[in-house]
Structure 1
């Protein structure tokens, strides 16, 4: 997703497998921990994994040190890099890019080529993290923060998106579902040997619905509403993965307790632009958490 910061005034927008894993590789993955994710390649997988990473800013890692591609906000510590390193991938192509939507997988994103062009017939592992920008989740959060400044109680943002009994965000999520399906079909067509992992979004706001207005200026009632909308998005992604030959990787469950309301050193999501990541995006610890979830998925 496009980087989104908590503003003091209206914030500007920011740019920023079916894998051929042998039994020995599976044992190597079982041994991987967060520490191992930062270690060197394993010999067991070095001749097996040809990995392509696709996705938006929750995959690319804008603001996470060290940045390797300013245009796409790509980090050397993002979860694709950690997964590739842990598996000792023979080849690794990371084309994740901040601001990407499903349309940027098959078409260009300004000067950035279509992400699916990175796929090859012999690709064995694909991770895909996409969907948030299709429903403009950064814009939703921005609106909610602005409304929270004006009306700190109740749920003004929810009300603004549910006028006249509609559910605008729910409709956007439902409209994104066939786009996810089309992308998954195209990945399978281009890389028929690949194990495809569709990666969900980590927890943003407290899973228990509590508010932290001292950290994020949302109205109290909009904290649980935004939590529910993210869960709806992740549920849709899980359903599309199950229906179209991909494995869904739950990044939400393992990240509970590391939401934006937690203090530095505990949180995996930054509440504003910091030296760790851009606002409302995973920091290095968040990427390690998602990498661990992916590696665990490869052993099942």
Structure 2
């Protein structure tokens, strides 16, 4: 039996809750242009896409008779738009260990994080990893009997 881990909730279902006024959470710099930020429409679209992707992953996993670990449900309310002490997912720039870069360049795009933040590229933070690890551990224990 295989265990597949789904994606956590990255952005909220209601995009109006994503007004944090911290452009480094969901934004990228374009050389010579400045900051490209994400709109409420982008947040709604991203939520729809990630929800659909998770549903496809779940369906394929269950069709194969394998175990799906639903991290989206448990991470609702802990998305990238929440305050640091609440969120389980960091945005484009976020809290991360010192070895994560704070500047990256991709052709005409560059990412410059400030205030000690690192280029996290929408990944779970320590709290998110701990919560997801607990769910995966429970699934593994269940699979082992």
Aligned to 2:19: 212
Per-residue CA deviation, residues 42-61 of structure 1 (Å, 9 max, x unaligned), is xxxxxxxxxxxxxxxxxxxx
Q: Give unmatched runs, 5+ long, in structure 1.
A: 1-194
Indicate conservation of the 8 Å contact 1:213/1:219, yes or no.
no
Aligned to 2:62: 242
Between the aligned partners of 2:66 and 2:96, the Cα distance in structure 1 is 31
Q: Does 1:280 align with 2:122?
A: yes
Which structure: greater helix fraction? 1
Secondary structure class of the residue paired with 2:71: coil
Corresponding pairs, count: 106
TM-score of the pair, normalised by structure 2: 0.65
Per-residue CA deviation, residues 141-171 of structure 1 (Å, 9 max, x unaligned), is xxxxxxxxxxxxxxxxxxxxxxxxxxxxxxx
RMSD: 1.9
Q: Which entry has the higher C-alpha Rg, 1 or 2?
A: 1
Which structure: greater strand fraction? 2
Shift of 1:293: 1.5
Aligned to 1:257: 77
Between the aligned partners of 1:209 and 1:230, the Cα distance in structure 2 is 14
Shift of 1:299: 3.2
For CA contacts below 8 A with separation 6 or more, give which structure has more relative contact order.
2
Q: How does 1:130-169 map to 2 (within 5 A)?
A: none
Between the aligned partners of 1:271 and 1:252, the Cα distance in structure 2 is 16
Q: Give unmatched runs, 5+ long, in structure 2.
A: 27-36, 98-119
Secondary structure class of the residue paired with 2:14: coil
Secondary structure class of the residue paired with 1:241: helix
Q: How does 1:60-75 map to 2 (within 5 A)?
A: none
Between the aligned partners of 2:126 and 2:83, the Cα distance in structure 1 is 15
Aligned to 2:5: 199
Indicate conservation of the 8 Å contact 1:271/1:279, yes or no.
yes
